[in-house]
Amino acid sequence: MPDCIAELERRNLTHVVKTVSREKPFLGICIGLQLLFEFSEEGDCEGLSILQGEVKKFRPDRLGAFGEKFKVPHMGWNSVNFLGEHPVLQGLSNGERFYFVHSYHVQPTEKQIVLGTTEYCAEFPSVVVDENIVAVQFHPEKSQAAGLKLLSNFVSWKGA
């Protein structure tokens, strides 16, 4: 996270991202979701503060259904529970599986922006939507047909 913020600043793109994310459809993927928030435990770093909330490290504090310990990073396929409808989710089923690779997760202050959740160590937001912003914790580009559908829907979406 600190390296991403530093590179955005070095290239004078911080203002561009903040402006464009409010004016045009904007898709954040993985750290692209996390960068949108105010603060991250990864490097104790300030984010872009486009959305309110923080990014927290997974701290596995319980065992899985078969007594296994949760590993960090969370890596592999997992289900997303959609909490509502959105044009970017059209044609995707509740419980659709996507590919994840991450050690941190977002905790938005405004819970109404959470459009999808995933269970790993605990339930965490895996899809957020706010006006022209759609951001996902998973990697649609690595998620086969479901990921391609989400990306196709995003490209067709005109924004809020």
Q: Residue 32 and residue 84: Cα distance in Å, rounded?
A: 22
Which pLDDT score is estimated for 103?
Answer: 94
pLDDT of residue 128: 98
Report phi then psi at 82, rounded to 5. -80, 135
Please name each of the domains of the chain with its CATH number: 2-156 (3.40.50.880)
The predicted pLDDT at position 110 comes to: 96
Single out the catalytic residue among 38, 41, 121, 139: 139
Task: Using alpha carbons only, give the angle 55, 59, 64 rounded to the nearest 5 degrees.
Answer: 125
Query: Is beta strand 53-57 parallel, antiparallel or unpaired with respect to 39-40?
Result: parallel
Report d(CA 79, CA 95) in Å as an integer: 5
Would you call 30 a catalytic residue per the annotation?
yes
pLDDT at res. 139: 98
Q: How far apart are CA 85 and CA 88, in angstroms?
A: 8
**pLDDT tens across 68-122, in order?**
678 889 999 999 999 999 999 999 999 999 999 999 999 999 999 999 999 998 8
User: Two tokens at 17?
Assistant: 């991202």
**Known catalytic residue: 105?**
no
Instruction: Give the distance from CA 120 to its chain's centroid.
Output: 14
49 pLDDT exceeds 90? Answer: yes
Question: 131 catalytic, yes or no?
Answer: no
The percentage of residues in the chain with a pLDDT greater than 70, rounded to a whole number, is: 95
Write the pLDDT tens digit of every residue in 144-157: 999 999 999 999 99
Give the pLDDT confidence score for residue 63 in this predicted structure.
Answer: 60
| Residue that the structure tokens 């904007």 belong to | 26
- pLDDT tens sequence across 30-41: 999 999 999 999
Query: What angle do the packed helices 2-10 and 14-23 form, to 10 degrees?
Result: 90
At position 71, the amino acid (one-letter code) is K
pLDDT confidence of residue 121: 83
pLDDT over 90 (residue 50): yes
Say which of 30, 42, 96, 105 is annotated catalytic.
30
Strands 26-29 vs 97-102: parallel, antiparallel or unpaired:
unpaired
pTM over 0.95: no
Q: What pLDDT score does 62 carry?
A: 63
- Beta-bridge partner residues of 79: 97
